[in-house]
Homo-oligomer: A and B are copies of this chain.
Amino acid sequence: MTDYSQLEKRLNYTFKDKQLIIEALTHKSYKKPYNNERLEFLGDAVLDLIVGEYLFNKFPNSNEGVLSKIRASLVNESGFTLLAKTIDLGEYIFLSSAEENNNGRHKPSLLSNAFEAVIGAVYLEAGLEKAKEISISLLEASHPKIDLDSLSKDYKTALQELTQASHGVTPQYELLGSSGPDHKKEFEIAVTLNNEIIAKAKGKSKKEAQQKAAQIALEALKA
C-alpha cells in the first residue's frame, strides 16, 4: 500500500518527506539499501524520554523507582505493539514475501520496531513536541487509566498475550502452598505452560503472587 493518507490521518500528522515514512515502514527483510533500524534506534530514545517525562509530570510525588517501573510496563514490545495496532501499522509495512507468509505483518517485534521508527521519523521531521503529542495521544487512548495499580495488573495479560502468540497456549496459575501465621500469610504461586513450571513467586495474597510470577515469567521468556 503506497497511500499513506489513512495512516497519516490516524497519526494526525502528514509527512513532508515521503521517503522518511517509507524508510520507517521498511523492514530489513525487504532488501532495500535502507530499512527502519536506524529510525527505530532514534525512536526508541524519543519514546523513552516522552513517556518518562509524561510520568514525571503525572506523578510528582513518585520516586524514580516507581517511575521506572511504570515506564517499563508501557515502554516495551507488547506496549508498542498495542499502539501500532490502533493505527493499523501492520498494513503499511514493507517486508519480504517470506516474512509476509510467516505472519510478519502481525509479529509483535516487527510492529513494535516499526512504531518506534515512525515516531523517530516524526521527531526528525517535526521535532519533539509533535512526536510527544502523537505518542501521548495514542498512549492515553490505549491506556485509559495509567497508574501503578492498573499497570501492574497488566503482567498477567501481557504474559497471556505473549504465550498465545509464541506457544499458542494460555498460562495456568497453581497454588503451591501458603505459609506463616494467619495475619501474615504468604502464598506461593507457580505459572505453568504446558504443565511445566516457568516461574514461581510469593506474595501477601494469591493475586499478588500471581502478578509477581507473571512478571518473572515475562522477563524470562523475553530474555
Residue positions of A touching B, CB distance < 8 A: 37-38, 40-42, 44-46, 48-49, 52-53, 56, 62-64, 67-68, 128
Residues in B whose Cβ lies below 8 Å from that of A40: 64
User: Among B38, B45, B63, which residue has its beta carbon within 8 angstroms of that of A48?
Assistant: B45
A69 to chain B, nearest CB (A): 11
- The prevalent SS among residues of A at the interface is helix
Residues in B whose Cβ lies below 8 Å from that of A48: 45, 48-49
A163 to chain B, nearest CB (A): 28
17 contacts between A and B (CB under 8 A): A37-B63, A38-B56, A38-B62, A38-B64, A38-B67, A40-B64, A41-B56, A41-B64, A41-B67, A41-B68, A42-B52, A42-B56, A44-B52, A45-B45, A45-B52, A48-B49, A128-B128
A40 to chain B, nearest CB (A): 6
Closest B residue to A120 by beta carbon equals B56
Q: In the complex this chain forms, how many copies of it are found?
A: 2
Closest B residue to A52 by beta carbon equals B45
A57 to chain B, nearest CB (A): 9
How far is B44's CA from A90's CA once the two chains are assembled, in angstroms?
31
User: Among B38, B41, B52, which residue has its beta carbon within 8 angstroms of that of A41?
Assistant: B52
Closest B residue to A56 by beta carbon equals B42
Residues in B whose Cβ lies below 8 Å from that of A128: 128
Residues in B whose Cβ lies below 8 Å from that of A37: 63-64
Residues in B whose Cβ lies below 8 Å from that of A44: 52
A124 to chain B, nearest CB (A): 8
